[in-house]
């Protein structure tokens, strides 16, 4: 709850320090005494837009700090966790405005952004009836309020889970489809490349081998001449084989006469004869091979040309073609595999979409029932608040699919009209002032909830009413105060009499000019202040008696 407020140099407020209690607190005072200024100051501490005209004349800066006593489980502590702010007994929001246009914010003396200050402020205080875009005038909170009134946290959790699963499933599907589309854009080229390499069937080291063969074929004439000369030297009448044969015959004749001394020589000649015959056969075979395919050189040139052309196409050397061939074939195969996988991903995404729609439909049905109940409850509250002609509608409308989210498939907005004959419109667009404040009071009473309650502030909620209507306003504010710290600026004695704490705001003259001061009233002072509110400038005995009756009642 809001524990204290310190204000320095805000318009009429020179220096002010207030402490607040639980329950219903009222702030009273004559018109122009500074009640709204006090709310403006609090709004600064809660992150409202900086208004540098609030700086008191003659001063270079203004300062506001609001202290809150919070349990460690309050969601505000989670909001400030990333800023390095640790859980303590109190959370102090500070705001400083400087005349040079600078605005400085901090939470527990840690500098924070204005955005974070406002986010935290909205989790601590709900202001109704004055601050645009805050409290129930913040249309983004309407769905949250209705869901709390419906009391279906389990459905909300299931809807969020189903949404997350569907979102992940469709994201995976989209990612794979995008990847497949990129690959498919190159599929034609890929198929042609793989078919060309299939036909070529390149091998590692093939270029070097073909170059060796080509060198041989390019010199076939010289090789042929050499083979012919070698063959003649072996086989002609005076060739090596004939001479070797004659030597072998001569030794064979005399070997028996030498007593075995020529055996080694004879064996060597026999081996030489065999080796020579083998060499001759090899030379003859080589000669035949050279003559086997007269077009072989042409074929080799064509093969080398194709290898090198494919290597240039793929930006590699010919020895790398087999690996590239394998990689491209794998990519082509992956296209078919991906198409099959996408089918499964599509089925999975559809399964989660169907589940999400089913759960969201249950959630939306609950919302419509809760909306009907809320409309009826608010309608009952309007008449006692002098809003007999007002209407209230909780609009639950379907969203376009692209707007679906973890909170379901419908949008929620509070719509109203405070006058007969005028169509209902968004609650933040209906009449301002006292009518709107009372309308928001009726709605807030119907939406009352106790989990991590925020302090409630109402401004001008009793404007333009009195008697029974003012009493009805006071009764509802007191009801709210029983469960939630509630502050209200009021001109109504009936409302003031319901307070657990009464603050009076007055203007006085000082050495620095006119200033606004605030102090807590005791029982006697409360009677006098309420009598003033009843009687006006001259407080009568009858007014004091009426004030005592209100307080006693």
Q: Tell me if 491 sits within 8 A of 462, measured CB to CB.
A: yes
pLDDT band at 161 (very low <50, low <70, confident <90, very high): very high
Every domain of the chain and the residues it spans = 187-327
- Mean pLDDT score of the chain: 85
Backbone angles phi, psi at 133, to 5 degrees: 80, 10
When mean pLDDT is compared across 167-176, 193-202, 246-255, 495-504, the lowest value belongs to 246-255
pLDDT value at residue 220: 66
Rounded CA separation 531/541 (Å): 9
pLDDT value at residue 291: 57
pLDDT band at 441 (very low <50, low <70, confident <90, very high): confident
Q: Tell me if 350 sits within 8 A of 165, measured CB to CB.
A: no
Sign of the Cα pseudo-torsion (495, 499, 504, 505, in order): negative
Q: Tell me if 17 sits within 8 A of 6, measured CB to CB.
A: yes
Q: Tell me if 83 sits within 8 A of 461, measured CB to CB.
A: no
Q: Quick count: other Cβ atoms within 10 Å of Cβ 382?
A: 20
When mean pLDDT is compared across 85-94, 206-215, 351-360, 523-532, the lowest value belongs to 206-215
For residue 76, what is the DSSP state? H
Per-residue tokens: 44? 């600064």
When mean pLDDT is compared across 142-146, 166-170, 334-338, the lowest value belongs to 334-338
Q: Tell me if 241 sits within 8 A of 235, measured CB to CB.
A: yes
Q: What percent of the chain has pLDDT over 90?
A: 39
Confidence check: pLDDT of 452 > 60: no
Which candidate, 442, 414, 448, places its Cα nearest to that of 428?
414
pLDDT band at 107 (very low <50, low <70, confident <90, very high): very high
> 167, exposed or middle or buried, with CB in 10 Å at 0-12, 13-18, 19+?
middle
User: What is the DSSP secondary-structure string of 152-168?
Assistant: -HHHHHHHHHHHHHHHH
pLDDT value at residue 126: 84
Backbone angles phi, psi at 86, to 5 degrees: -90, 160
What are the tens digits of pLDDT across the range 523-544? 999 999 999 988 887 888 999 9
Per-residue tokens: 424? 């209902």
Per-residue tokens: 416? 């109203």
pLDDT value at residue 482: 87
Confidence check: pLDDT of 29 > 70: yes
pLDDT band at 420 (very low <50, low <70, confident <90, very high): confident
What are the tens digits of pLDDT across the range 334-375? 776 677 788 888 999 999 999 999 999 999 999 999 999 999
Q: Tell me if 67 sits within 8 A of 4, measured CB to CB.
A: yes
- Average pLDDT, integer, range 75-100: 93
What are the tens digits of pLDDT across the range 283-319? 777 776 665 466 777 888 888 899 999 999 999 999 9
Task: Quote the pTM value.
Answer: 0.64
Per-residue tokens: 290? 């050279």
The number of C-alpha atoms within 13 Å of 17 and in the hemisphere containing its C-beta is 0
In sequence order, which residues have a C-beta less than 8 Å from that of residue 306 and are 6 or more positions away?
200
In sequence order, which residues have a C-beta less than 8 Å from that of residue 132 and are 6 or more positions away?
428
- Average pLDDT, integer, range 141-163: 93
Confidence check: pLDDT of 331 > 80: no
Angle of helix 153-184 relative to helix 321-382, nearest 10 degrees?
150
Q: Quick count: other Cβ atoms within 10 Å of Cβ 173?
A: 19
Q: Tell me if 526 sits within 8 A of 26, measured CB to CB.
A: no
Query: Hey, which residues does 421 pair with through a beta bridge?
Result: none
Per-residue tokens: 302? 């064509």
- Average pLDDT, integer, range 430-441: 73
Sign of the Cα pseudo-torsion (389, 392, 398, 404, in order): positive
Q: What percent of the chain has pLDDT over 70?
A: 92
Largest CA distance in the chain: 174
User: What is the DSSP secondary-structure string of 334-396?
Assistant: HHHHHHHHHHHHHHHHHHHHHHHHHHHHHHHHHHHHHHHHHHHHHHHHHGGGT-TT-EEEEEE
Q: How many residues does the chain have?
A: 553
pLDDT value at residue 133: 54
Q: Tell me if 331 sits within 8 A of 190, measured CB to CB.
A: yes
């Amino acid at each position: 709850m809001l524990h204290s407020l310190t204000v320095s140099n805000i318009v009429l407020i020179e220096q002010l320090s207030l402490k607040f209690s639980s329950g219903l607190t009222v702030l009273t005072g004559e018109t122009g005494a500074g009640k709204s200024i006090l709310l403006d100051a609090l709004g600064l501490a809660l992150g409202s837009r900086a208004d540098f005209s609030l700086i008191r004349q003659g001063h270079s800066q203004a300062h506001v700090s609001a202290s809150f006593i919070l349990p460690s489980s309050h969601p505000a502590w989670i909001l400030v966790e990333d800023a390095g702010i640790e859980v303590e007994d109190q959370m102090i929001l500070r705001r400083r405005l400087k005349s040079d246009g600078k605005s400085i914010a901090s939470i527990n003396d840690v500098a924070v952004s204005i955005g974070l200050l406002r986010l935290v402020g909205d989790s601590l205080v709900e202001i109704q009836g004055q601050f645009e875009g805050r409290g129930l005038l913040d249309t983004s909170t309407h769905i949250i309020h209705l869901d709390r009134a419906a009391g279906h946290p389990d459905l909300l959790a299931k809807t969020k889970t189903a949404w997350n699963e569907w979102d992940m499933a469709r994201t995976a599907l989209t990612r794979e489809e995008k990847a497949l589309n990129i690959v498919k854009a190159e599929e034609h080229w890929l198929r042609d490349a793989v078919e060309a390499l299939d036909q070529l069937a390149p091998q590692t080291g093939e270029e070097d081998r073909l170059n060796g063969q080509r060198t041989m074929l390019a010199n076939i004439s010289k090789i042929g001449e050499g083979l012919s000369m070698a063959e003649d030297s072996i086989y002609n009448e005076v060739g090596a084989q004939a001479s070797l044969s004659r030597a072998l015959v001569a030794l064979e004749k005399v070997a028996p006469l030498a007593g075995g001394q020529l055996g080694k020589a004879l064996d060597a000649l026999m081996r030489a004869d065999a080796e020579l015959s083998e060499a001759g056969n090899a030379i003859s075979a080589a000669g035949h091979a050279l003559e086997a395919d007269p077009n072989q050189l042409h074929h080799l040139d064509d093969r080398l040309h194709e290898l090198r052309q494919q290597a240039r196409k793929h930006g590699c050397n010919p020895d790398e073609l087999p690996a590239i061939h394998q990689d491209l074939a794998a990519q082509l195969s992956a296209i078919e595999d991906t198409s099959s996988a996408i089918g499964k991903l599509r089925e999975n995404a559809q399964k989660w979409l169907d589940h999400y729609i089913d759960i969201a439909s249950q959630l939306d049905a609950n919302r419509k029932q809760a909306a009907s109940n809320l409309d009826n409850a608010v309608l009952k509250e309007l008449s006692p608040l002098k809003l007999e002609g007002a209407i209230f509608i909780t609009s639950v409308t379907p969203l376009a699919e692209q707007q679906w989210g973890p909170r379901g498939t419908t949008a929620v907005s509070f719509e109203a009209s405070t006058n007969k004959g005028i169509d209902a419109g968004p609650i933040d667009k209906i009449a301002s002032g006292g009518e709107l404040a009372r309308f928001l009071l009726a709605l807030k009473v119907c939406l009352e909830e106790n989990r991590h309650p925020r302090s409630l502030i109402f401004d001008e909620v009793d404007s333009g009413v009195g008697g029974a209507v003012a009493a009805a306003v006071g009764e509802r504010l007191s009801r709210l105060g029983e469960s939630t710290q509630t502050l209200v600026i009021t001109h109504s004695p009936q409302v003031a009499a319901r307070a657990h704490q009464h603050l009076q705001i007055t203007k006085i003259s000082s050495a620095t000019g006119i200033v606004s001061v605030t102090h807590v009233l005791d029982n006697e002072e409360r009677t006098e202040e309420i009598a003033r509110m009843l009687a006006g400038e001259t407080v009568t005995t009858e007014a004091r008696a009426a004030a005592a009756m209100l307080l006693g009642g």
